[in-house]
Chains A and B, each alone.
Chain A
Amino acid sequence: MIPELFITAILVLLGGALLSFALSSRDERTVRTVALGSAIIASVFLAALSLFTLLTGQNFVFTVYQPFPYLAISFFIDRLAAFFLLLIAIIGGCVAVYTVEYFEHLGGGARRNHLCAFGNLFILAMVLVVSSATTISFLLFWELMAASSFFLVMYEYTREETRKAGVFYFIMTQLSTLFVMLGIFALYVQTGSFAIAPLTAAGSPLITAAFLALFVGFAIKAGIIPFHKWLPYAHPASPSPISALLSGVMLKIAVYGLIRFLLDVFQPDIWWGVLILAAGTTSAVLGIIYALKEHDVKAMLAYSSIENVGIVFVGIGLSIILSAANLPLLATISLLGALFHALNHALFKALLFLTSGSVVHATHTRDIEHMGGLAHRMPWTSGLFFVGAVSISALPPFNGFASELMIFSAFFSSVAVVDPLLKVLLFISLALFALTSALSMACFVKAFGSIFLALPRSSESEKAHEVSEMMLIGPGILAAACILLGLFSYKIFFLVGYPAVIPDMLLIGILLLVMAALTYAFLYFFASREVRVSETWGCGIHSQQPATEYTGHGFSEPIDIIFSAIYRTRTKNERTFFDRANCIFAEGTGEIRLMKVFEEYLYLPLARFAVWAAESISRFQNGCLDTYLLYVFVAVVAVIIFLGWYA
C-alpha cells in the first residue's frame, strides 16, 4: 500500500507540474490553483505514508523502472527517509496553501505558471532524493533539485540583484553537486556498486576522501560557513514562499544526505565528528552574529538559517564523537536532537519566511527600519510571526527549545568522555553554543520589535493592512505545529520508541498556564481593575514620534561594538582643518563599512584563481584546425602508451 501511495503522490506532483507547463501561456488563476492543489494533495499523501512508516518502523524497498541490469530506479523508505519526507510534506503543503493567494499578488503574468511548475518539480526532486535507494539516483535527483531551485530563484530575473544572486547560487549549487558526485564516485571505486550500503573496509584514504568530498558537497548545500554566501543573496532575491522552501526544506535535504551517509555507509572516525562539530559551531556563532547586523528581513532570516543548520551539525558531530567515545545513549539523544531541530527549524523558518513575505507584501520594503507598528495593522500575521520568533529563540515550551534542550543535555553529560583534549573542545563548543542561543534571542527581539512594535516608521507601513485568509492558514498550520511539537515532544518521542530523552514539556506548559491564570484570578479579585489608555512618559516629548524610537541599528549597536573584532568594520575618516596644527575642523567625511570577510578573503581570491586558470586553459583553444589535429595525435599516442604500460 505504501509504494502505491508514494507513486501516486509522485504522479500527482508531476501531473501538476506538467499541467502548468503545458498551459503556461494562459495567465489564469485556475491553472495555478490546480497545480498548487496537486502539491497539497501530494503532501497529504506523503505525510500519511511517512507517519505510518515512522510509527510502525517498517522499511519499504521497491523498484519502479529498471532500464539496465545494474541501474534501477528504486526507492527505499525507512524511518530516516520517512522523517524527512514528513518534513517536506508539511512545509511543502503549507507553503502551497500560502502560495495560492501569494502568487496572485506577484507581478510577472503567465510566468507565474512556470513558478508553480518549477515549485512542484522542486518538491518532487526533494522527495525523490530522500527516498533514493542508490547513490546514483541520489545524485541524479540532487541535480534535478539544484536545477529546479535555480529557476525558482531567478523568477524576478529582470532585476540586477536577482541575476547576481542567481548566478552566485548556480555556481555554488553546481559546486555542491560536483563534490557530491566526487564523493559518490569515490565510494563506487571503493565498493564497485551504487548501493547505499555499509562499507566493509574501513580506514582507507579513499574512504576518507569520499567522506570529505561528500561533507563539502553537503555543507555547501546546507550553507555551512564558509560555504554560506549564497544564502543571504538567494533568499532576498527570490519570492518569499520559495525562500521558505529553500531554507526550510532544501537545507535539510543536505542534512539528510550527511546523516544517511554517516549512518548507513561510513563508520565515522572521531575526528570526523570533531570536524562536523567545529563546522557547526562556527556556522552557528558567526551565522547569528551576522544575522544581528542584517536589516533586510529576509537576509536576516537567511543568516539565521545558517545558524540553525549549524546547530543541527553540532548535534550530528556531537553524536559521532559520543558514539566513538562509547556513550551510545547520549549519542542517540544528540542525534535525535539534531533531527528534531532540523524539523523544528523547517517549521519555524518556513513560518517566519511566509509571514515576513506577508509583511513585505503589505509594506513594499524588506528593510526593517521602514517597518514598525504592524502589530495593530496586521494582528494575525504578527501573532504568527511571534510564535515563530519565540520558537526560534529557543524558549520553552515551544519546539525550538525542545530540540536545543536535547543537544544541551547531551553536551552537559558529555564531559564524561575521557580524552582531555576532547573535553576542552566540547566545553568551548558548549560555551559558543550557549552564546548562539542567547544571541538568537536578541536577534529576534530586535526583529519582532522593529517590524511589529511601536510606531510605524514609514508611510507604507502606516498604510499596511492584514493579508487574506489563505496567507494566514498556511503559516497558521506551521505555527500550530511549532506549539504542538514543543508541548508534546515527550509524548512523540515516547511513541516512536525513545522514552526519556527529553523532559515533559506539556507539564511545563500547563504549569505556565496555571500560574498565569492564578495570577490573573488573584489580580481580578484583589487588585484595581482600572485601565486607561493614554500617553506615557516619552522622555520629555509631548507625544511619541517615530523618529525618537529605538531603531534596529540602535538596538544591535552594543552587540556590534562588543563583537567588533568579528564584524571587521572598516572605518574611514577624512578630515580637513583650517590650521596647521589640526585644531580647527573645516569639513570631513566618515564612513563605517562592514567588511564582507568571506567574500573578500575567500570567494574573490578563489574566483580570480578560477578565472586565471580558465584563461590559461583557453590558450589551448585557439581555433586553428591544425592545433586540434595535433591534440588528437597526442591523445592517441598517450592512449597507446598507457595501454602498453598498464593494461
Chain B
Amino acid sequence: MTDMASIEGIIKILFVVVIIAAAYIISTRNILSLVSVYSLQSLTLAAIALALWIADGKIVLLEIAIVTIASKVLIIPYFIATIQERIRIKRDIEFHYLNPTTSLLVSMVMMLVIYFALSRILPTAPGTPSLLFFGAVIGISLMLMGMMVTFSRKRAITKVMGYLSMENGVLFFGMFVTELPLIIEFLIIIDLIILVLLTTILAVGIDSTLEEYHNRLHRFHLWEDKEDAS
C-alpha cells in the first residue's frame, strides 16, 4: 500500500518522539505536564505499532495498539490526574544522584553502550532490517531511562511515572524483538492499572512524607491557605 521507505522514516521520527518524551520525564520539574507527556509517549508507541502493522500486516500489532491506547493513553493517565488533583504537588525539584542535565548525558551514553552491547549479542544477519535492531536498542534504553527516573526522583508520583515509562520500554522491546504474546502484554497492563490504583490510595491516604511536610508547615505557622507552597 504505502511504500516502505516513508513508513520507515515515520517510524524513525516516532522513535525520537518516544525518547524525547522519556528524556522529558527524566528532566522536567513540572509534575503537571508529566501525565500528558506520558500519554503522548504511549500514543506514539501505539502509532509505531500501527505503522508496523501497516508494514507487516500482523494482526497482533493492531491489537497491541488498541490495548495501549485504551489503557495507557486513557485509563492510567486519568487515575494519575486524579491523584495529582488530590495531592496538589505541582513540582518535583529534588533530584537524587543525578541532576537533569547529567541524567540526559548519562542516558545518551547509555544508549550508545546498549547499542554496542546489543550489536554483539543480537546476531545482525544481513537480512535483518536495522530498524528492528534499533527499535530494540531504544526499547532497552527506554527501560533504563525509566529506571533512572525511579531512583533519581524523590516524589512517589514521579517514581510511578518512571515505572510506567519503563513498562513502555518493555512493550517497545517486545514489539521489535521477541513478539510478546498479547496475553502477557494484557497481564502487564492489568498489573500497571493495579499499581496505579494502589498508588492513588497510598498517595491520597497515608503518604507519610506529605504528612510530615504539613506538620512542619503547621509548626512554623506557615500553613495559611490550602495551596501547597512548594
Contact = CB atoms under 8 A, between A and B. Distances in A.
Direct touching of A and B (C-beta under 8 Å): yes
Interface of A: 420-421, 424
A421 B115 CA distance: 10
5 contacts: A420-B115, A420-B116, A420-B119, A421-B116, A424-B112
Contacts of B115: 420
B23 to A, nearest CB: 17
5 closest A-B pairs by CB: A424-B112, A421-B116, A420-B115, A420-B116, A420-B119
Interface string B115-140: 11001000000000000000000000
Contacts of A420: 115-116, 119
Contacts of B116: 420-421
Interface of B: 112, 115-116, 119
A415 to B, nearest CB: 15
Contacts of A421: 116
A420 B116 CA distance: 9
A386 B158 CA distance: 53
Contacts of B112: 424
Nearest to A424: B112
Contacts, number: 5
A421 B112 CA distance: 9
B contact patch SS: helix
B116 to A, nearest CB: 6
B204 to A, nearest CB: 34
A420 B114 CA distance: 13
B138 to A, nearest CB: 15
A424 B115 CA distance: 11
A482 B127 CA distance: 55
Nearest to B112: A424
Contacts of A424: 112
A431 to B, nearest CB: 11
B65 to A, nearest CB: 31
Nearest to A562: B101
A41 B162 CA distance: 73
Nearest to A427: B112
Contacts of B119: 420
A380 B179 CA distance: 74
A489 B116 CA distance: 42
Nearest to A421: B116
A420 B119 CA distance: 10
A424 B112 CA distance: 8
B1 to A, nearest CB: 33
A420 B130 CA distance: 13
A358 to B, nearest CB: 42
A420 B115 CA distance: 10
A424 B111 CA distance: 11
A287 to B, nearest CB: 21
A518 to B, nearest CB: 44
B99 to A, nearest CB: 10
A420 B118 CA distance: 13
A421 B117 CA distance: 11
A522 B115 CA distance: 58
A580 to B, nearest CB: 16
A420 B112 CA distance: 10
A426 to B, nearest CB: 13
A530 B110 CA distance: 61
Nearest to B99: A565
A458 B116 CA distance: 58
A98 B115 CA distance: 57
B81 to A, nearest CB: 36
B98 to A, nearest CB: 12
A424 B113 CA distance: 11
Nearest to B102: A565
B102 to A, nearest CB: 8
A559 to B, nearest CB: 15
A424 B116 CA distance: 11
B229 to A, nearest CB: 19
A417 to B, nearest CB: 16
B27 to A, nearest CB: 16
A254 B35 CA distance: 58
A424 B109 CA distance: 10
A424 B119 CA distance: 15
A421 B109 CA distance: 12
Nearest to A565: B102
B100 to A, nearest CB: 13
Nearest to B116: A421
A296 to B, nearest CB: 31
A421 B113 CA distance: 10
A362 to B, nearest CB: 44
B107 to A, nearest CB: 15
B115 to A, nearest CB: 7
A507 B116 CA distance: 46
A17 to B, nearest CB: 54
